[in-house]
Amino acid sequence: MPESTLAQKLLAAASGRDAVSVGEIITCQVELAMFHDSSGPRRLKPMLESLGTGLWDRDKVVLVMDHYVPEADDESRRIVRIARDWAREQALPHVYDSVGICHVVVPEHGHIRPGMFCVGGDSHSPTGGAFGAYMFGVGSTEMLGVVVSGEIWVQVPQTLAMQWNGRLAHGVTAKDMALAMIGRFGMNGGRYQAVEFCGEAVRALSMQERMTLSNMSAELGSQVGLIAPDQVTLDYLHAAGVPGALEIDVARWQTDAGAPLERHVFDAGALAPQVAAPHSPANAAPVGDYPATPIQAAYIGACTGAKLEDLRAAAEVLRGRRVAAGVSLMVAPASARDQQRAQEEGVMDVLVQAGAQVLPNSCGACSGYGGSIPEGANVMSTTARNFKGRMGAETARVFLASPYSVAAAALTARITDPREVLA
């Protein structure tokens, strides 16, 4: 057997082969198809009806209502109604309605496991790679083929290994790692290949931090963002209620020592908190490069920045303090489950007492919905993208950063190194 990368092993398994080579075009069997209210039924329903066909396997479909909820206007009510009606018509067994963002809700309910081949109707679907699964985003036409046939073709990609040596300092996160890589390589740096995150610093990350890293492989321009599974993965899946999680063979899903790949090495211990200036995640630089940049709004939300550990990080900065006068701090927890846990731990109380406005468990302003971002404001945000108008307000200037950095900016009304506050 040839030495293979994790990506090659996952694709070989999905195509029923012993091994695959870079550049080959193969047909893969899909084990999970995920889509949401925006990408799913309103587009798939009419196409399926025109073909006169149905779903290949309802049990392998997951639908999440997260983009247009809570419904604020007639158009959003129409879109969500189509999704809910279609879910009932199809008798879908896995529907999550208004309980959080798909990239967080799907794994926290145990749908993604090591060795799986999955597709998602959203560009941040590579989040699934954090679990040692091959998962990537597809458009509506490709998703139509998947839900009808259960198959999709893939060209076997080259693997780009992003090796992080050492350990992150306190106040530095996976979000900072992601921004640093995007700043170095650009938004096409992944060349639509398979990126695998590895090294001591990656292994030291919690599961939710790994999810952030894999999620933002989309901004790096890769097809997938993989992390080899280990005990951290299995413990998370066991807590999520996955049967037999602790017995999953993770040794099978590791890149072989002699596998062909392109390696890039980073020093985690030397990494400073990163901030990406408007209007691209690629405009990333150390926080110290933004002296006295004023901030009028701070947003802690999205699949990259409002999971339980993100909320804890923000609360660590804000505990016993108040948001600066003239700054609006908004917190949209990524899932109802994480918000409940944060409430039980007292984290939500800390955020509210600091002056935060708590928003619903949805994509919200990250997808330009909800109207919470003021026009003309400098916004510090935990979201993954800061394209012009992305968060709804055309004249807003959005700076991307970690929850630590966003909370620190809310306290000081300017871009601030969170390590100064934590100290």
- List, as one string, the DSSP characters of 232-245: HHHHHHHHTT-TTG
Q: How many CA atoms lie within 13 A of 251 on its CB side?
A: 1
pLDDT of residue 144 exceeding 90: yes
Q: Give the largest CA-CA distance in the chain.
A: 64
Predicted pLDDT of residue 83:
97
What is the set of domains in the chain, with CATH numbers?
A: 6-268 (3.30.499.10), 274-420 (3.30.499.10)
pLDDT of residue 370 exceeding 80: no
Distances (CA, A) of 388 to 183, 277, 321, 363, 364: 18, 11, 32, 17, 16
Q: Which of 174, 119, 125, 149 is nearest to 56 (CA)?
A: 149
Predicted pLDDT of residue 35:
97
Share of the chain above pLDDT 90, in %: 95
pLDDT of residue 227 exceeding 90: yes
Query: pLDDT category, 214, cuts 50, 70, 90?
Result: very high
Q: Which of 412, 416, 411 is nearest to 399 (CA)?
A: 416
Predicted pLDDT of residue 142:
96
Distances (CA, A) of 28 to 11, 149, 227: 7, 11, 20
Query: What is the residue type of 191?
Result: R
Q: Which residues of 249-258 are buried (b: 16+ CB within 10 A; e: fewer)?
A: ebeebbbeee
pLDDT of residue 292 exceeding 90: no
Find where tokens 């096409």 sit: 188
Please report the sign of the dihedral spanned by the C-alpha atoms of residue 301, residue 305, residue 311, residue 317.
Answer: negative
Predicted pLDDT of residue 211:
98
Predicted pLDDT of residue 263:
97
Q: How far apart are CA 384 and CA 382, in angstroms?
A: 7
Predicted pLDDT of residue 159:
98
Given a contact cutoff of 8 angstroms between Cβ atoms, the answer to whether 213 and 127 are in contact is no
Share of the chain above pLDDT 70, in %: 100
Q: How far apart are CA 258 and CA 70, in angstroms?
A: 50
pLDDT of residue 1 exceeding 90: no
Q: How far apart are CA 130 and CA 126, in angstroms?
A: 8
Predicted pLDDT of residue 420:
96
Q: How far is CA 226 from the centre of its chain?
A: 12
Q: How far apart are CA 227 and CA 206, in angstroms?
A: 12
Query: pLDDT category, 105, cuts 50, 70, 90?
Result: very high
Predicted pLDDT of residue 24:
98
293 SS3 class: coil
Query: pLDDT category, 127, cuts 50, 70, 90?
Result: very high
Residue range 148-163: mean pLDDT, rounded: 98
pLDDT of residue 82 exceeding 90: yes
Query: What is the residue type of 361?
Result: N
Tens-place pLDDT, residues 337-366: 999 999 999 999 999 999 999 999 999 999
Predicted pLDDT of residue 16:
98
Given a contact cutoff of 8 angstroms between Cβ atoms, the answer to whether 288 and 271 are in contact is no
Where helices occur in 258-355 by DSSP H, the ranges are 308-318, 336-344, 347-353
pLDDT of residue 330 exceeding 90: yes
Predicted pLDDT of residue 368:
86
CB atoms under 10 Å from CB of 186, counted, come to 15
Residue range 252-271: mean pLDDT, rounded: 97
pLDDT of residue 289 exceeding 80: yes
Find where tokens 């060349």 sit: 191
Given a contact cutoff of 8 angstroms between Cβ atoms, the answer to whether 322 and 347 are in contact is no
Residue range 299-309: mean pLDDT, rounded: 97
pLDDT of residue 372 exceeding 90: no
Query: What is the residue type of 282?
Result: A
Cis amide bond preceding 46, omega within 30: no
Query: pLDDT category, 111, cuts 50, 70, 90?
Result: very high
Average pLDDT value over all residues in the chain: 96
Residue range 374-379: mean pLDDT, rounded: 94
